[in-house]
Amino acid sequence: MRGMSKEGSSVSASTTDITGSGSLPPVSEIGIAALTLVVVGGIYLSSYPRGASLVLPTVLAAFAALFVLIGAVLLLVSKSLARETFVKVGKWSLLVYLIVAGMLEYVFVFDGTRGGTLIVLSAMLFIFAVDVPMIIAFTVARFHNSSGGVTS
Amino acid sequence: MTDVVNQANQGSSEELGLVGGGKRPEFKIVPVRTLPLVAVVIAGLIASIAGNWLWGLDFYHVVGGGLWTGIDLFVGFVVGPIIGRMSIPSRVEFSTRFMPKMLVIMPTVVTMTLGSGFQLARKLGYFNAGASQHGWLVASFIVVGVMTVIALGVLEPANLAVLFELKKEHPNGRVIEKLMRRFIFTAGITGAMQIATLIIMTRVATS
């Protein structure tokens, strides 16, 4: 899908499917849905840190985890994804978001959050720490084959 | 804004001014030299939280929040439209210098604001459902929640993908244009949320 310019340099043809999105699963959309559920659950719990019912946040966290799992499975079975780029971006993003989630976990424990609330919050933080890197890595990887190689 | 999209519809490296003499400035996706400064800022935030240091928490929240709101509105409504009217090579050059810095600045500023704000609200008793500011606090959570989903789910991945594209030997203008559209389309939502934040925070401070 490349043409040659007058100078002999290869340039990307602009008529091709630049994203490959036709053959890639909707991982970003699924990831954003999971992130939304986690954020809603987090808002609910943070609004009522003492005595909030855990039913709603637990259900939201369960659906969010399910969405992340579905996204991960779709990534595993996808043949057209630039896996090398996905792993390269994903591992560093995961490190960053694990640190962020760890800091948030520290704040919750430091503030005296305990029991079921802490378990649900921890689960949400873990989902958040896995979900955001998945969205980031997928977004970068889906455009990987759009043109030339990385220069450095 | 349509001229931004139309102009960017030209899609090859050649059109980006990167073939036949056009040169992009060298850049790193993550400007590593700035990370020690980020570490110092975050260490101060952790110390303020761990020590429940009221002035420190207030300082981090006011400075971080002011920068976050100011940068968001300024970039969305002043810098963004200016970039849209620049030539594509100029836009690429600006982006290669601007976006790596934003990749470091924005997460740091957001962490400062939210980390200190949460702890400040707890220390001042605003989490108590009976507190007069509790409703405003919940409203601020909702606003922050909307901005979190947009920032982490839509904008940050696009920012990184643009930088990876610009690192390629032959960047594809159509890819960059497609990704940059996300910033244009979300600027209105982000702007509205930031104005809501200003209203909420001034209400919290005065009620």
**Average pLDDT over all residues of chain A:** 83
Cα–Cα distance measured from residue B197 to residue B110, given in angstroms and rounded to the nearest whole number: 13
Which residue type does B99 have?
M
Q: How far is CA B60 from CA B41, B46, B103, in A?
A: 9, 11, 19
For A146, the closest of B152, B167, B172 (CB atoms) is B172
Cα–Cα distance measured from residue B129 to residue A48, given in angstroms and rounded to the nearest whole number: 7
* Domain membership flag for residue A132: yes
For B157, the closest of A13, A18, A135 (CB atoms) is A135
Cα–Cα distance measured from residue B203 to residue B136, given in angstroms and rounded to the nearest whole number: 7
pLDDT number for residue B58: 95
Tokens of A71: 């996204």
Cα–Cα distance measured from residue A147 to residue B62, given in angstroms and rounded to the nearest whole number: 44
* Cα dihedral sign, B46-B50-B52-B55: negative
- Distance from the Cα of B71 to chain A's closest Cα (Å) equals 22
> How many domains does chain A divide into?
1
* Domain membership flag for residue A56: yes
Assess contact for B38 and B104: CB atoms under 8 A: yes
Residue A114 has pLDDT above 90, yes or no: no
pLDDT tens sequence across B22-74? 566 778 888 889 999 999 999 999 999 989 899 999 999 999 999 999 998 99
Assess contact for B136 and B197: CB atoms under 8 A: no
Chain A neighbors of B160, CB-CB under 8 A:
89, 136, 139-140
- Distance from the Cα of B136 to chain A's closest Cα (Å) equals 11
Task: Label residue A38 exposed, middle or buried (CB < 10 Å: 0-12, 13-18, 19+).
Answer: buried
- Distance from the Cα of A110 to chain B's closest Cα (Å) equals 8
pLDDT number for residue B141: 92
Residue A94 has pLDDT above 80, yes or no: yes
For A12, the closest of B12, B46, B179 (CB atoms) is B12
Q: Any idea where the domains of chain B sit in the sequence? A: 32-206
**Number of residues that make up chain A:** 152
Q: Which residue of A has its CA nearest to B156?
A: A136
pLDDT number for residue A1: 34
Cβ of B170 within 8 Å of Cβ of A139? The answer is no
Q: Collapsing DSSP states into helix, strand and coil, what is residue B24?
A: coil
Tokens of A93: 């993003």
The half-sphere exposure of A96 on its side-chain side, counting CA atoms within 13 A, is 21
- Distance from the Cα of B179 to chain A's closest Cα (Å) equals 10
Residue A8 has pLDDT above 80, yes or no: no
List the domain range (segments joined by +) for residue A111.
26-144
pLDDT number for residue B39: 94
pLDDT number for residue A31: 97
Q: Which residue of B has its CA nearest to A13?
A: B12
Cβ of A47 within 8 Å of Cβ of B141? The answer is yes
Work out the pLDDT band at A3, boundaries 50, 70, 90: very low
Residue A4 has pLDDT above 60, yes or no: no
Tokens of B199: 């209203």
Greatest mean pLDDT among A16-30, A71-85, B119-133: A71-85
What is the CB neighbour count within 10 angstroms for residue B177? 21
For A136, the closest of B14, B49, B156 (CB atoms) is B156
The whole-angstrom distance between residue A98's C-alpha and the CA centroid of its chain comes to 12
Which of B12, B103, B200 would you mutate first to test chain A, the one with the most A CBs within 10 A?
B12
Cα–Cα distance measured from residue B87 to residue B76, given in angstroms and rounded to the nearest whole number: 19
Tokens of B32: 């590593």
Chain A neighbors of B174, CB-CB under 8 A:
12, 14, 18, 146
Assess contact for B53 and B120: CB atoms under 8 A: no
Assess contact for A40 and B202: CB atoms under 8 A: no
DSSP assignments along B87-139, one per residue? -HHHHHHHHHHHHHHHHHHHHHHHHHHHHHHHHHHHHTTTTSTTSTTHHHHHH
* Domain membership flag for residue A85: yes
What is the CB neighbour count within 10 angstroms for residue B127? 20
* Domain membership flag for residue A117: yes
pLDDT number for residue B20: 46
Mean pLDDT of A64-91: 94
B87 or A85: which leads in pLDDT: A85
For B170, the closest of A10, A139, A152 (CB atoms) is A10
Chain A from 118 to 147: CB within 8 A of any B CB: 132, 135-136, 138-140, 142-144, 146-147
What is the CB neighbour count within 10 angstroms for residue B174? 25
Residue A28 has pLDDT above 80, yes or no: yes
DSSP B21: S
Which residue type does B35 have?
L
Tokens of B186: 């979300």
Angle at A36 between CA A96 and CA B204, to 5 degrees: 90
Cβ neighbors of B188 (< 8 A, separation 6 or more) are none
Would you say the ipTM is above 0.95?
Answer: no
pLDDT in tens, chain B (207 residues): 334 334 444 445 555 655 444 566 778 888 889 999 999 999 999 999 989 899 999 999 999 999 999 998 998 889 888 888 888 788 888 888 888 999 899 989 988 998 899 889 888 888 888 888 889 999 999 999 999 999 999 999 998 998 898 888 888 888 888 888 888 888 889 999 999 999 999 998 887
